[in-house]
Amino acid sequence: MANTTIDPAILKRAQAWLDDTNIDSETKSRITHMIENDPAELAESFYCDLEFGTGGLRGIMGDGTNRMNKYTVGMATQGLANYLKKVFANDHEISLAIAYDCRNNSSYFSNIVADVLSANGIIVYLFKELRPTPELSFAVRYLHCQSGIMVTASHNPKEYNGYKVYWNDGAQLVPPHDKNVISEVQKIASISEVNFAGDPMKINILDESIDNEFLRISKSYSLAPEVIAPAKNMKIVFTPLHGTGITLVPKALKNYGFENIHIVEEQAVSDGNFPTVKSPNPEEKAAMQMALDQAREINADLVLATDPDADRIGVGVKDIDGNYILLNGNQTAALLTYYLIKQWEAKGKLKGNEYIVKTIVTSELISDIAKGAGVEYFDVLTGFKWIAEVIRNLDGKKTFIGGGEESYGFMIGDFVRDKDAVTACCIFAECAAWAASKGKSLYELLLDIYLEYGLYKENLVNVVKKGMSGQAEIKAMMEGFRANPPKEIAGSKVKLMNDFALSQATDIHTGKISPIDLPKSDVLQFFLEDGSKISMRPSGTEPKIKFYFSVRSHLNDASSFKATEAKLDGRIEEIIVSMGLR
């Protein structure tokens, strides 16, 4: 045995599971094997409790307190059930909707969640098959539930699973409920406190009628059906990357009027092992390669993709030379925002109380487009729960057009209160049809936007720090930048630092401090005199710190686009090197 190499505190935590009569023998056997043969894996599995964050759970699947398994899921769900019963104590009944994605064990975990909730007297509406995140958000609202759970780890690697918690407005948890749920989860000290004895009489299985309602309302957001009819045969390649998008996106596109849809069949198979991709993330070109290859074969007009839970959208278009390129999240959001506002203008729908929302790390091009049309815009922290919070606060006062973030998420209208790649795919296809009606490609439309508002270029660097030591390194990096902010970056002076953990903005030249009216968050931003913006924040779902870079230049004409873009790419690289990230 290798006990002498194991931290005594970790061994004690593992032994507690071995001594617990509530844990099955198979789990205990695997824990014993780790003790005897794999001390490193034992340490990673038991050095802490899997954190129930402000959005829910996410972690590597396996045995132990720091892994996604029946027991950690059960304890988290028991805590949520306890909180729901406190908050809604006066309600006649409490109900919750559950959906799940294609990941390994997603169906299993959804049934564990349903059992624990129903054992606690909560009515459960469980989708009988995998369904996208936006449909879960919709179902919470449509069924008048007090809460919802989406079992997914979004675009994380195959080893991960998790679940996101939603409140009665269909949005993810925000204060005070996020912290209050965490508090209740932390009170669950033992697996013996979890009631796993599900009540089948309280579990209702949802059928396709929810799909039909979702698709019906999604289609109502179409702004220019007259441009779709002439473009109905536009060739669209779609890949769900083995995920839930296959259940709704092709139907939604056809519902809008698009008839020539080509599925990447190898990736239409729902599979939590994601056999055709290293990572099921539409942000990565490798994940999109099969769709791009198919697009070239058939000379497609548009490439669309969704991540495993179909809340993020990936887009590929032809450039001016006929080569297929991938749009980044900022470009996708800019095109959608531009199209929505232009159509609202054309249809006479702008009455002066409309608005859009973006996150603080998303391109300022979005706000420029809004300002250019006299549409109000709001900046919020990263995460669609904050966009949904703005909608909730302005409900009945102002009209939400759309909102997005650089990480490939966009939401159109307010019938869903989270990223909705299903409707976004349809509106993007409609945007392509609109551009075609003007004799333009999507790429040419994007160039028009740059010519009008300036060429913005963004990049993202992820610094991954895994395990116990990684958390400490990430914390140290943030503390270092916060305590000793740079006065100059890549030859340009820093003029403003936003510290969202302290809710204050500091003018570097004058030392003047101004308040930031947003919730506290571990995010830093530096604005340079040359117009560059640099943001950094630890990921809330993965073991990494994210650095966002944005630079801008005037674009003289379309023919100088590539040269100007290359210049901006060089500028971003200078900034990255200057900050010691290369």
| Contact residues for 85 (Cβ-Cβ < 8 A; gap 6+) | 94, 120, 121, 122
| Contact residues for 582 (Cβ-Cβ < 8 A; gap 6+) | 573, 576
Residue with the bigger pLDDT between 55 and 224: it is 224
pLDDT at 284: 92
Average pLDDT, integer, range 197-208: 97
| Contact residues for 309 (Cβ-Cβ < 8 A; gap 6+) | 101, 132, 133, 150, 152, 154, 243, 244
The model's pLDDT over 76-93, given as tens digits with 9 standing for 90+, comes to: 999 999 999 999 999 999
pLDDT of residue 434 exceeding 60: yes
Residue with the bigger pLDDT between 66 and 539: it is 66
pLDDT of residue 1 exceeding 50: no
Nearest to 323 by CA among 303, 341, 352: 303
Provide the Cα torsion 344, 346, 350, 354; round to 10°. Answer: 20
Average pLDDT, integer, range 30-56: 93
CATH architecture entry for 230-452: 3-Layer(aba) Sandwich (3.40)
Domain extents for the chain? 1-44, 48-211, 230-452, 456-578
The residue count for the chain: 582
Domains 48-211 and 230-452 share a fold: yes
The structure's pTM equals 0.94
pLDDT at 54: 82
CATH class of 48-211: alpha beta
What's the token pair of residue 100? 């799940």
Query: Which element (helix H / strand E) includes 59?
Result: strand 56-60
pLDDT of residue 2 exceeding 50: no
Pair 237, 262: CB distance under 8 Å: yes
Q: In angstroms, rounded to a whole number, what is the distance separating the alpha carbons of residues 19 and 12? A: 10
* DSSP letters for 16-32: HHHH-TTS-HHHHHHHH
Nearest to 145 by CA among 173, 162, 124: 124
The amino acid sitting at 491 is G
What's the token pair of residue 551? 């630079």
* DSSP letters for 431-479: HHHHHHHTT--HHHHHHHHHHHH-EEEEEEEEEE--HHHHHHHHHHHHH
Q: In angstroms, rounded to a whole number, what is the distance separating the alpha carbons of residues 534 and 521? A: 16
Q: In angstroms, rounded to a whole number, what is the distance separating the alpha carbons of residues 314 and 305? A: 5
The model's pLDDT over 302-324, given as tens digits with 9 standing for 90+, comes to: 999 999 999 999 999 999 999 99
Question: Predicted confidence band at 539 (pLDDT cuts at 50, 70, 90)?
Answer: confident
Question: Predicted confidence band at 541 (pLDDT cuts at 50, 70, 90)?
Answer: low
pLDDT of residue 416 exceeding 60: yes
Alpha helices in 50-196 (DSSP H): 70-87, 106-119, 133-142, 177-187
Q: In angstroms, rounded to a whole number, what is the distance separating the alpha carbons of residues 373 and 352? A: 10
pLDDT at 466: 79
pLDDT of residue 3 exceeding 50: no
% of residues, the chain, pLDDT over 70: 99
pLDDT at 29: 98
Please provide the average confidence, as pLDDT, over all residues in the chain.
95
| Contact residues for 131 (Cβ-Cβ < 8 A; gap 6+) | 99, 100, 210, 211, 244, 247, 248
Question: Predicted confidence band at 4 (pLDDT cuts at 50, 70, 90)?
Answer: low
Average pLDDT, integer, range 444-468: 92
- What three-state secondary structure class fits 256? helix
pLDDT at 467: 73
Pairing of strands 492-499, 524-528: antiparallel
| Contact residues for 46 (Cβ-Cβ < 8 A; gap 6+) | 10, 13, 14, 17, 64, 65, 66
Q: In angstroms, rounded to a whole number, what is the distance separating the alpha carbons of residues 227 and 239? A: 24
Question: Predicted confidence band at 272 (pLDDT cuts at 50, 70, 90)?
Answer: very high
What's the token pair of residue 328? 């980044």
| Contact residues for 455 (Cβ-Cβ < 8 A; gap 6+) | 552, 553, 554, 555, 561, 564, 565, 568
Pair 218, 138: CB distance under 8 Å: no
Q: In angstroms, rounded to a whole number, what is the distance separating the alpha carbons of residues 413 and 422? A: 13
Pair 304, 315: CB distance under 8 Å: yes
- What three-state secondary structure class fits 324? strand
Q: In angstroms, rounded to a whole number, what is the distance separating the alpha carbons of residues 158 and 360? A: 29
Pair 284, 251: CB distance under 8 Å: no
pLDDT at 6: 87
Of the candidate ranges 178-182, 222-226, 369-373, 543-547, the one whose mean pLDDT is the lowest:
543-547
Pairing of strands 147-151, 95-100: parallel
| Contact residues for 422 (Cβ-Cβ < 8 A; gap 6+) | 132, 134, 135, 214, 218, 245, 248, 249, 252, 306, 310
CATH no. of 456-578: 3.30.310
Helices and strands counted in the chain (H then E): 18, 23
Average pLDDT, integer, range 237-253: 98
Give the position of tokens 């990921």: 539
- Taking residue 502's Cβ as centre, other Cβ atoms within 10 Å add up to 14
Catalytic annotation, residues: 154
Q: 260: burial class by Cβ within 10 Å (0-12, 13-18, 19+)? A: middle
pLDDT at 294: 98
The model's pLDDT over 465-496, given as tens digits with 9 standing for 90+, comes to: 877 678 888 989 999 999 999 999 999 999 99
pLDDT at 155: 86
